Amino acid sequence: MSTRASLTLYEEILLLALDDDKGTTEMGGMYVNAMGGAILAELVLVGALVAGKTKKDPVTAVKGVTVDDEILAECLAKVLDEKKPKKAVHWVQKFAGLKDLRNRAARGLVQKRVLAEASDKVLGIFPRTIFPENDPGPEQELRARLKRAVFTSTQDVDARTIVVVAMAQATGMLGKIFDKKKLKERKQRLEKLTSGQVAGAATKEAVEAVQAAVMVAVMVPVITSAAT
C-alpha cells in the first residue's frame, strides 16, 4: 500500500536532502528554501492560502480552512496573524527560517517510521542528531515519481509531484538527485511541468508563484554576500 499520502511536501523535500545512511543533509542549505517553498505550496494546494497569479501579488489566507499538520498549522497561523499581506518570497523565507525546522520535520518522519533518530559526534567531539533512513520505500516511490515526471512525456503527473520537481529545480537540488547532463536534455520537459502545460490552472498558479519566490529566496543571500 502506498505511503505517499501520509507525507507532506516539506517532508518529501527533506527525504531527498538527507543522506540515507549518514542521516545528515548533504545538500548544504539549498534544501531549506525548498522546504519553505514546499510549505507554502502545500497550504495553497489544500486551499488554506491563495498565492496570487504573479510573484508580485501578496499571499492571502482563506478564513475557516484548517490543517492538521503541526508545522503547516504554525505557518498558516503566521499568515493569518500578519496585519499587512506579504508576497510569496517573504513567506518562503519565513517558513524556511522556522526554528529547528529540519529536526522537527525529521522527527515527524521518525513518528511515521520512515526515519530513525540517532546521535554521533563530528570529529569525535561535537555531538549532533542524525536521521538515517529506516524505511526506504517512501523515498524510492518519490524518486520513481520524479523520474517518471521528468524523463517521460506522460501527461499524468499529479500536482504534488510537480511541486517537488519545481522546488528541487529552483534550489539546485534536482542536479543532486539526477545526472545534470541528462537533466539539461530535459529542459523543455521541465519548463512544461512548471508552466502549467501538464497540470491544471490552479497548480500552475501555485507552482509559478512559489517557484519564483524560492528562486528569489535562494539568490538574496548570494547577492548580499557579494555586496559585502
**Regions of the chain short of the pLDDT cut 70:** 1-5, 27-28, 53-55, 196, 199-203, 205-206, 217-228
Phi, psi of 28 (to 5 degrees): 60, -145
Q: Count of domains in the chain?
A: 1
Q: How many CB atoms lie within 10 A of CB 156?
A: 8
* 4-48 residue pLDDT tens: 448 999 999 999 999 998 988 876 678 898 999 999 999 998 999
- Check which CATH number belongs to the domain holding 150 and give it: 1.10.3630.10
Left (φ > 0), alpha (ψ -120 to 50) or beta: where does 57 sit?
Answer: beta
- Residue range of the domain that includes 178: 4-227
For residue 227, what are the contacts with CB-CB under 8 A and spacing of at least 6? none
Q: What is the pLDDT of residue 62?
A: 92
Distance CA 74, CA 118 (A): 26
Query: Grid coordinates in use for 102?
Result: 529540519
What is the residue type of 173? Answer: M
